[in-house]
A and B are shown apart, each in its own frame.
Chain A
Amino acid sequence: MLELTEFQQDAVAELLNIGMGTAAASLSEMVKQKVDLSIPCVEIMLRRHAVEHIRDTVGNEVTAVKETFKGTFWGDAFLLFPESQSLELVRALLQEDALPLDMLSEMEQEALTEVGNIILNACLGSLANIFEQSFHCDLPRYAQGSCDIIFNRNLAATRSADAVLLVRMNFSLKANNINGLLTLMMDVESMQALTDLINTTFGMID
């Protein structure tokens, strides 16, 4: 299995840190409260272990917004949070509106898709700008259900099924008791392209 050098691992973590910082600022602007971030975690692991990690963090029943990105490196970016917290997040977003519950539920999918779009683009856009590259990002896709269903659905479309680079960072909105997870998942070829780009951009040779 491909391994990242300590420098590459640190570089990916730091880049995600910057990208997620931009994303957190956007989220904070939307919900008008502080967003706490964890330290980024970068690991190569089997895909099924990656799904287990995600399940351990956000639970089995999740709300997910996914954007596939394509460029010099490529993969899937996910915004995930426990399904039980999704309405609470919509409420935090629309706080000025005092919308009734039925209207909140009606808006849930569209509101969360837009939140995912803003957060994932802030993160991916930041990465693209650091590398002076451009990514094509697909339109955001919303899903609700078990981790197994959401991630196994992606498995069929993945070329290198087994090993993935999982980059993840937790975020929380303490005032609303909402915890979420932002992850990037890349296959081995993309991981290699990313590490090559890091070496080129930052002048490091393995």
Chain B
Amino acid sequence: MSDNAILIVDDSRLARMVIKRYTLSVHPHWNVIEASNGEEALEKSQDENITWMTIDYNMPGMNGLTLIEKLRQRFPQAEIALITANIQNNVRNQAEELAVDFIQKPVTEEKIRAYIER
């Protein structure tokens, strides 16, 4: 098992499935933890050492940026990307302020590779 664990948070199962598939095609031994909302993400990541995250913005319950603030306190060294269909400048700017990557949906293999291979 690798030392790396990626937390994929998205209310769309399709989006999680695609992100997971592209991640494992590059890093087959990474531990993948999936969650469909912020609460579940906080719960499932509690005893993990998360090193990478992809977080959706529009989800039931807390939005992705609120979740990122909470997760960053728990995993200050982790790489974080906001992956969202919401391309409004205000969301992009907030992601920038939090110093997280902004990846515009749809998720493609190229975008995931560019994020996790750097």
Q: Which residues of A are interface residues toward B (Cβ below 8 A)?
A: 22, 26, 29-30, 93, 107, 110-111, 113-114, 117-118, 120-122, 124-126, 128-129, 132, 134-135, 137, 139
Instruction: Write out the residue numbers on chain A whose beta carbons fall within 8 Å of the beta carbon of B60.
Output: 139
Closest 3 CB pairs of A and B: A125-B87, A121-B85, A114-B12
- Cβ of B106 and Cβ of A137 under 8 Å apart? no
Q: Whole-angstrom distance between the alpha carbons of A126 and B89 in the complex?
A: 9
Produce 1/0 per residue, B44-66, CB < 8 A to A.
00000000000000111000000
Query: From residue A36, how far is it (CB to closest CB) to chain B in Å?
Result: 19
The verdict on B105 contacting chain A, using a C-beta distance below 8 Å, is yes
Can you name the residue of chain B whose Cβ is closest to the Cβ of A111?
B14
Q: CB within 8 Å of A: which of B9-59?
A: 11-15, 58-59
* Contacting residues of chain B (82-101) with chain A, CB-CB under 8 angstroms: 84-90
Partner of A121, one of B11, B13, B59, B86: B86
Distance from A131 Cβ to chain B, minimum over Cβ atoms (Å): 10
Contact check: which of B14, B88, B104, B105 meets A128 at CB < 8 Å? B88
A107 to B14 Cα, complex, angstroms: 8
| Total contacting residues, chain B, CB less than 8 A | 19
A120 to B88, CA, bound (A): 12
Q: Is the CB of B87 within 8 A of A114?
A: no
Contact B108 A117 (CB under 8 A): no
How far is B60's CA from A157's CA once the two chains are assembled, in angstroms? Answer: 22
A121 to B57, CA, bound (A): 12
**Residues of B contacting A22 with CB < 8 Å?**
87
Contacting B106 at CB < 8 Å: which of A26, A107, A120? A26
Structural contact, A30 and B85, CB atoms closer than 8 A: no
Evaluate contact between A30 and B106: CB separation under 8 angstroms. yes
Q: With A and B bound together, what is the CA distance between A26 and B108 in angstroms?
A: 11
CA distance A93 to B17 in the complex (A): 13
- 5 of the cross-chain contacts (CB-CB < 8 Å) are A93-B14, A118-B85, A128-B89, A129-B87, A134-B90
Choose among A110, A122, A129, A135 the residue that contacts B85 (Cβ–Cβ < 8 A). Answer: A122
Please state if B14 and A137 are interface contacts (CB–CB under 8 Å). Answer: no
Decide if A29 touches B86 in the complex (CB within 8 Å): no
